[in-house]
Amino acid sequence: MAETLNFSLVSPECELFSGEVIHVDVPGTEGDMGIHPKHAPLMAAIRTGIVNVYRSDENISFFVQGGFVDVTTEELVILAEKACFIDDIDHKEIKQEIESAKKALVSLEGEAALSMQQNLDGLQDILAN
């Protein structure tokens, strides 16, 4: 059996997932990352996107919006500002958020604009799929 690492995905409202996994894909602000067991300790910010979780018997996908990933030698934790199962995505809500993100983008500049753009891109990707 493949080596596993302990993964948990928590949002402010609840813990969505906790258990042994083989591999997790994380959308970092600086680029996507695949995290396997024995990854070096890492602390990274994440952007809007999909977290793919690979387990020995199933694969699960989550939608996350903003937050952090914390990797230690023992475990991998994603602290998401917003998270849900990919099937639970509310397309209407996403559309609304895209609209408000577009509006917000006009008045922002610098770093804030960059992260908002990232958010917008992520949301549009979700909708496209």
Partner 1 sequence: MASLKDLQNRIKSVKNTQKITKAMQMVAAAKLRKAQEAAEKSRPYSERIYEVIKNLAASMINVGDAPKLLKGNGKSDTFLLVVATADRGLCGGFNTNIVRKANQEIIDLENQGKTVKLYLIGKKGFDQLKRSHNNKIVYNVSLKEERSIHSGISQKIGSQITKMFENNEFDVCKIIYSEFENVMTQHAISKTIIPASVDLDEVTPSKTSDAKLNGAIYSYEPDEIGILNVLLPRNINTQIFTALLENQAGEMGSKMTAMDNATRNAGDMIDKLTLTFNRTRQAQITSELIEIISGAEAL
Among the listed residues 44, 98, 108, 116, the single contact to partner 1 using CB under 8 A: 44
Q: Closer CB to partner 1, residue 33 or residue 86?
A: 33
What whole-number distance in Å separates Cα of residue 43 and Cα of residue 55? Answer: 23
Shortest distance, CB of residue 128 to partner 1, whole angstroms?
25
Q: In degrees, to the nearest 5, what angle opens at C-alpha 61 toward C-alphas 59 and 62?
A: 150
Residue 42 main-chain phi, psi, to 5 deg: -150, 145
Beta strands (DSSP E) in the chain are: 5-10, 15-21, 23-28, 31-35, 42-46, 49-54, 59-71, 75-85
What whole-number distance in Å separates Cα of residue 102 and Cα of residue 99? Answer: 5
Q: Does 13 bind partner 1 (CB under 8 A)?
A: yes
Q: Closer CB to partner 1, residue 59 or residue 99?
A: 99
Q: Does 109 bind partner 1 (CB under 8 A)?
A: no
- Token readout for 127 is 């909708």
Site for partner 1 in 65-94 (CB under 8 A): 67-68, 70, 72-74, 77, 79, 81-82
Q: Closer CB to partner 1, residue 21 or residue 26?
A: 26
Interacting residue ranges for partner 1, rule: CB under 8 A: 8, 10-15, 28-30, 40-45, 67-68, 70, 72-74, 77, 79, 81-82
